[in-house]
Structure 1
Amino acid sequence: MIDTQSGSKSDFAVETRGLGKSFGGFDAVRDVNLKVRRGSVHALIGPNGAGKTTCFNLLTKTLIPTTGRILLHGKDISSLRTSDVAQLGLVRSFQISATFLHLTCLENVRVALQAKNGGGYRFWRSLRAISGLNARAMELLERVGLADVADVRATELSYGKKRALEIATTLALDPSVMLLDEPTAGMGHEDIEPVTELIREAAVGRTVLIVEHNLSVVSSLCERITVLNHGEVLNEGSYAEVSSNADVVSAYMGGGEDD
């Protein structure tokens, strides 16, 4: 893809330049320059209140930037709407599981496939009209280890399986860039490793930007890490580099309020 200003081919799936967001004079995010290399798994970490969620909201256009630019595959998306950004291939998975709890696993994935195929969320369509999506929905459930519970309602799943279902519905949209917001939050130890492996498999052939507090998950998944503190980039590098940085250690020891 081509950067519309520089005219050069971008090596980065997501890039921000001087990104900032102010709320009534408070700078939640300030002058963030982020570069997420195409095909990589990149983490955005930091203590509570660092601005990570605000950054995610800016990237998906849930919030409008006060300053700066956002590029997706070299294309300036700063002025686009949330729906436009999703159509371009950037899809976010939320911290709180966003499944339809009273639909089955198969139905949840099928709804996402309807949206991807231009059918929208049309629950009133006949089963015959959407049955052609069942095979693809089952493929995705198989991929995330849920094929055996395809006919089980989402409300009956364990927390870890709900997150796996959410990843399946995200994959149904066939994103080129996945933004994962705290995918292991609230999980017991028995669920963290399977979900981590699931993210690793889902990342094949696409770019993943992840906000995650569990640093063992970050260290095992992510090639590069950007550390935020007080809305600014504090450090960036490999896990070994950022975890040994004195400023990063100090920021985590100090903590703060939730972002």
Structure 2
Amino acid sequence: MSQALILETRQLTKEFRGFTAVNAVDLQVTEGQIHALIGPNGAGKTTVFNLLTKYLPPTRGDILYRGKSITKMKSNEIARLGLVRSFQISAVFPQMTVLENVRVALQRTMGNSFHFWKSNKVLNQLNERAMALLESVGLAHYAQHITVELPYGRKRALELATTLAMEPTVMLLDEPTQGMGHEDVDRVVELIRQAAKGRTVLMVEHNLSVVSRLCDKITVLARGAVLAEGDYASVSAHPKVREAYMGSEQATVEGAH
């Protein structure tokens, strides 16, 4: 496994009218690892993701990809570099079939925009690759289903397939198991593990059991700043981390061992 840094932030800061949502965050994501960003509600995790993918401009600080600054780049340019964000609300087209959703995503790798009006003959050329992706996330049998009819956990699997279709180098997963039952969580954990082979993953995740099972490195945020960093054992034993996860979340920290 390579130990080179693939994604890095230096003193990354985001202020909203005097409120500091992200405060001088230094994040170092190692190539080939699964890295989690965790913290209590309001810690700034999603804001960091929005800064990395340029949905928000930083107030101060720098973002580097493979050692080069991408701070001034636009979100579509970031995606073309291979930083692809998944598991956002409405990440798939609900009235299209499962197969059609993956074919639309595959058009990105052909250098096309989303050409909904292309002939079936042209789009059918993508079917083999699309079916292979659906097979990889356990959705081959759902290929002709209308997406809106899928169970929630299967929709998240489809989102992962459409992300993989864009051939990401770094996958940014935003709350991949949010709202899932135990069975769906286990399935998605295994899908992420498979998808991470040969890639780097940065994920925001509330479920600390998922983090403990998947992640090589964990960065804990609290009030917009880095509170602790390390593997799960060291982070979960950190006094300040335990203090940050008081009450019901404290039980989650202890229960995830």
Length-normalised TM-score, structure 2 = 0.94
Structure 2 residue aligned with 1:131: 124
Asked if 1 retains the 8 angstrom alpha-carbon contact of 2:87 and 2:174, the reply is: yes
Q: Deviations over 1:137-170 (max 9, x none)?
A: 0000000000011001111111010000000000
Alignment length (residue pairs): 247
Using the TM superposition, give the Cα deviation of residue 131 of structure 1 relative to its aligned residue in structure 2, in angstroms.
1.2
Distance 2:114 2:146 in 1: 18
Q: State the AA in 2 paired with 1:236.
A: E
DSSP 3-state at the match of 2:245: helix
Residue matched to 2:173:
180
Q: Within the alignment, does 1:242 sit opposite 2:223 as a pair? A: no
Runs of 4+ in 1 over 4 A off after TM superposition: none
Percent identity between matched residues is 62
Per the alignment, residue 69 of structure 1 pairs with 62
For 2:37, the aligned partner's letter is L
Question: Paired residue for 1:24?
Answer: 17
RMSD: 1.3
Cα distance change of structure 1 residues 144 and 156 upon mapping to structure 2, 3 Å threshold: same
- How far residue 13 of structure 1 moved from its aligned partner, in angstroms, is 1.2
Q: Partners of 2:156 and 2:197 in 1: how far apart?
A: 18
Map 1:136-147 onto structure 2 (within 5 A): 136-147=129-140
SS at match of 1:169: helix
Give 1:103 deviation, angstroms: 0.6
Query: 1:109-151: CA deviations, max 9, x gaps?
Result: 0000012211211111111122111100000000000001100
Q: Relative to structure 1, is the Cα distance of residues 97 and 186 closer, same or farther in structure 2, using a 3 angstrom cutoff? A: farther
Are the equivalent residues in 2 in contact too, given 1:97–1:163 (CA < 8 A)? no
Given residue 222 of structure 1, which amino acid in structure 2 is its aligned partner? C
What secondary structure, in the 3-state scheme, does the structure 2 residue paired with 1:152 have? coil
* Residues 203 and 97 of structure 1, relative CA distance in 2, 3 Å threshold: farther
Gaps of 5+ in 2: 250-257
Provide the C-alpha distance between the structure 1 equivalents of 2:19 and 2:87, rounded to a whole number of angstroms: 25
Task: Name the counterpart of 2:253.
Answer: none
TM-score between both structures, scaled by the size of structure 1: 0.93
> How much has 1:96 moved relative to structure 2?
2.5
In the alignment, residue 207 of structure 2 is paired with which amino acid? N
Note if 1:34 corresponds to 2:27: yes
Aligned to 1:113: 106
**What is the DSSP-based 3-state SS (H/G/I as helix, E as strand, rest coil) of the residue aligned with 2:138?**
coil
Counterpart check, 1:91 vs 2:91: no
Q: State the distance in 1 between where 2:118 and 2:79 align.
A: 23
Partner residue of 1:220?
A: 213
C-alpha distance in structure 1 between counterparts of 2:138 and 2:122, whole Å? 26
Q: Structure 1 residues 255 and 67, CA, compared in 2 at 3 Å: closer, same or farther?
A: farther
Residue 87 of structure 2 contacts residue 156 of structure 2 at CA under 8 Å; is this kept in 1?
no
Match of 2:206, SS state, is: coil
On the 8 A contact 1:29/1:54 being kept in 2, the answer is: yes
1:254 Cα deviation after fit = 6.8
* Whole-angstrom CA distance in 1 between matches of 2:189 and 2:90: 16
Give the structure 1 partner of residue 143 of structure 2. 150
Q: CA deviation at 1:232?
A: 0.1
Inter-partner Cα distance in structure 2 for 1:254 and 1:121: 47
Instruction: Check if 1:197 corresponds to 2:178.
Output: no
SS of the counterpart of 1:228? Answer: strand
From the superposition, tell whether residues 254 and 62 of structure 1 become closer, same or farther in structure 2 (CA, over 3 Å). farther
Q: Letter of the 1:77 partner, please give it.
A: I
